[in-house]
Chain A
């Protein structure tokens, strides 16, 4: 194929785009919808994962200490805990600080404690764990070791919550992967079949170009370019719609009264995902044309 013929293919692709506007409009619409479903799924999945990561980062283990510890044994406990490989940092909360926090946080119940002669709240050490040591098994294991240190009375790490979180995380990962693969395959299937229909609608044109001596590449090129344009346009439209929906959703939750919603960070898809979605649309458009054309170019 000469350069002139290549330029001709580009020109013809755009001309055909105009000639078959309705057909192309429908094709792009279907590609947009398919990619919108896929990118919405990705957006939800990524934000859910971000949220879980955020919660995971906030996980900490609290070691409640027995009363009447000497300052030597307290520093020994701190030293032992700090020396463990999982520990990122620790912060000591004395009995007095614990009482103050309690009063600040629950002022209505503060009077009940005021009636007691002694402060019933234990001193504690909050332990932040390093990245990579925060899965439920590791935390459980770590808590058991801390519990064995003399002077540590009780260890708290939100056991039941962590078990639930672990189950949810594994459910999300496996289901997310399966659903993602199904949506991806469905998207590829829908796009390539939609393009097949556009090629089918123009089988006469293909036949005529063959009859006048057009090579397979000459026939295919405008279709490839059209497929790529359709994939690009479909991907771009899907992302624009998704972005608008995302902005609306952010506005909506920022007005929601529940603080839980307000604390959830909802980000848009990262830039490399945008490139992957648009690029994926273009590749699928190209491949859709590629495989659809073969049946009309046998002889």
Chain B
């Protein structure tokens, strides 16, 4: 379903990614994501979810095909402009990727310091975003003294402090229990409601049940189907995931 160019956030045309002749991470992947959408990339381990996110984040180049993010073709982007693109994309990881020797404030401020903002602007924005994720009272703590859920919220705060147009999350709740997972997913939904396109890669079908939304299902590097999450559809097409 082709969308209008100005409303499209991501377009993939016949994308292949080979790490070696015997290791094809992605094979002929095609899809489109509109601006402001909330999308799950769903599939088992080794399906190519992380590779797909890496392509969107310019951490990898496709072997073949076109990856267009916000109108920019990743394959032809200059390496010097990659940091500029990344400042408009937030990334959240399963293992949080926080600097343990820096405080919560410093970890979040890092995303603004790379842009070169003034100190007082950074302070204001960091406080604001920490309030949004409910961590203002933890501002001077170091990550190892926070719970897993809190650490993930710091990572989310860092990912959204720059007001990104796109938020990518790779198994963001993989290390968290159900209750914290619900909180984190709620946070993603709020971020999406502000207008940010959110893409979450997960192997956990339970995550899809939090709210009906678009799901791109991957299996062995190929798009198996694109659906609106609905338990019945999944039972029909993804018996390998559903008991």
Beta-carbon contact of B86 and A212 below 8 Å: yes
Beta-carbon contact of A215 and B97 below 8 Å: no
Tell me the complex Cα distance, A11–B87, Å.
22
Binary B-proximity of A183-226 (CB < 8 A = 1, otherwise 0): 00000000000000000000011011111111110100000000
Beta-carbon contact of A209 and B97 below 8 Å: no
Beta-carbon contact of A208 and B60 below 8 Å: no
* CB of B146 within 8 Å of the partner chain: no
Beta-carbon contact of B99 and A214 below 8 Å: no
Which residues of the other chain, B, contact A20 by a CB distance below 8 angstroms? 101
Beta-carbon contact of B97 and A213 below 8 Å: no
Beta-carbon contact of A4 and B111 below 8 Å: no
Count how many chain A residues have C-beta atoms less than 8 Å from C-beta atoms of the other chain. Answer: 21
Beta-carbon contact of A208 and B97 below 8 Å: yes
Chain B interface size, under 10 / 10 to 19 / 20 to 34 / 35 or more: 20 to 34
State whether A4 and B84 are in contact (beta carbons under 8 Å apart), knowing that A205-B99, A207-B97 are contacts in the complex.
no
Chain A residue at smallest Cβ distance from B107: A208
State whether A2 and B86 are in contact (beta carbons under 8 Å apart), knowing that A208-B99, A299-B60 are contacts in the complex.
no
Q: How far is the CB of B114 from chain A (nearest CB, A)?
A: 4
Query: Which residues of chain B from 60 to 109 have any CB-CB distance to chain A below 8 Å in the complex?
Result: 60, 80, 83-87, 91, 97-99, 101
Chain B residue at smallest Cβ distance from A208: B97
From DSSP, what is the main secondary structure of chain B's interface residues?
A: loop
Tell me the complex Cα distance, A20–B111, Å.
22
Which residues of the other chain, B, contact A216 by a CB distance below 8 angstroms? 83
Chain A residue at smallest Cβ distance from B89: A213
Beta-carbon contact of A211 and B101 below 8 Å: no
Tell me the complex Cα distance, A205–B91, Å.
15
Tell me the complex Cα distance, A297–B59, Å.
11
Beta-carbon contact of B101 and A218 below 8 Å: no
Of A8, A204, A214, the contact of B97 (CB 8 Å cutoff): A204
Binary A-proximity of B105-143 (CB < 8 A = 1, otherwise 0): 000001101111010000000000000000000000000
Chain A residue at smallest Cβ distance from B111: A212
Which residues of the other chain, B, contact A5 by a CB distance below 8 angstroms? 113-114, 116
Beta-carbon contact of A211 and B86 below 8 Å: yes
Beta-carbon contact of A212 and B59 below 8 Å: no
Beta-carbon contact of B59 and A299 below 8 Å: yes
Query: Which residues of chain A from 127 to 167 have any CB-CB distance to chain B below 8 Å in the complex?
Result: none
Beta-carbon contact of B113 and A208 below 8 Å: no
Binary B-proximity of A107-126 (CB < 8 A = 1, otherwise 0): 00000000000000000000
* CB of B158 within 8 Å of the partner chain: yes
Binary B-proximity of A233-248 (CB < 8 A = 1, otherwise 0): 0000000000000000
Beta-carbon contact of B60 and A212 below 8 Å: no
Beta-carbon contact of B118 and A213 below 8 Å: no
Beta-carbon contact of B97 and A211 below 8 Å: yes
Beta-carbon contact of A213 and B99 below 8 Å: no
Beta-carbon contact of A211 and B118 below 8 Å: no
Binary A-proximity of B174-210 (CB < 8 A = 1, otherwise 0): 0000000000000000000000000000000000000
Q: How far is the CB of A187 from chain B (nearest CB, A)?
A: 30
Tell me the complex Cα distance, A277–B194, Å.
58
Q: How far is the CB of A142 from chain B (nearest CB, A)?
A: 69
Of B84, B101, B110, B162, the contact of A209 (CB 8 Å cutoff): B110
Chain B residue at smallest Cβ distance from A1: B116
Which residues of the other chain, A, contact B58 by a CB distance below 8 angstroms? 299
Beta-carbon contact of B60 and A213 below 8 Å: no
Tell me the complex Cα distance, A1–B80, Å.
12
Which residues of the other chain, A, contact B84 by a CB distance below 8 angstroms? 213
Which residues of the other chain, A, contact B158 by a CB distance below 8 angstroms? 212
Binary B-proximity of A7-42 (CB < 8 A = 1, otherwise 0): 010000000000110000000000000000000000
Chain A residue at smallest Cβ distance from B96: A208
Tell me the complex Cα distance, A299–B59, Å.
6
Of B60, B91, B114, B118, the contact of A215 (CB 8 Å cutoff): B114
Beta-carbon contact of B116 and A4 below 8 Å: yes
In order of increasing CB-CB distance, the 3 nearest A-B pairs are A213-B87, A213-B86, A214-B114
Additional A-B contacts beyond A213-B86, A213-B87 (5; CB < 8 A): A209-B110, A213-B84, A214-B110, A215-B83, A215-B114
- List, sorted by A's number, 26 A–B pairs whose CB atoms are closer than 8 Å: A2-B116, A5-B113, A5-B114, A8-B113, A20-B101, A204-B99, A207-B97, A208-B98, A209-B114, A210-B83, A211-B57, A211-B86, A211-B97, A212-B87, A212-B110, A212-B158, A213-B83, A213-B84, A213-B87, A213-B114, A213-B162, A215-B80, A215-B83, A215-B114, A216-B83, A218-B114
A: which residues have CB within 8 A of B? 1-2, 4-5, 8, 19-20, 204-205, 207-216, 218, 299
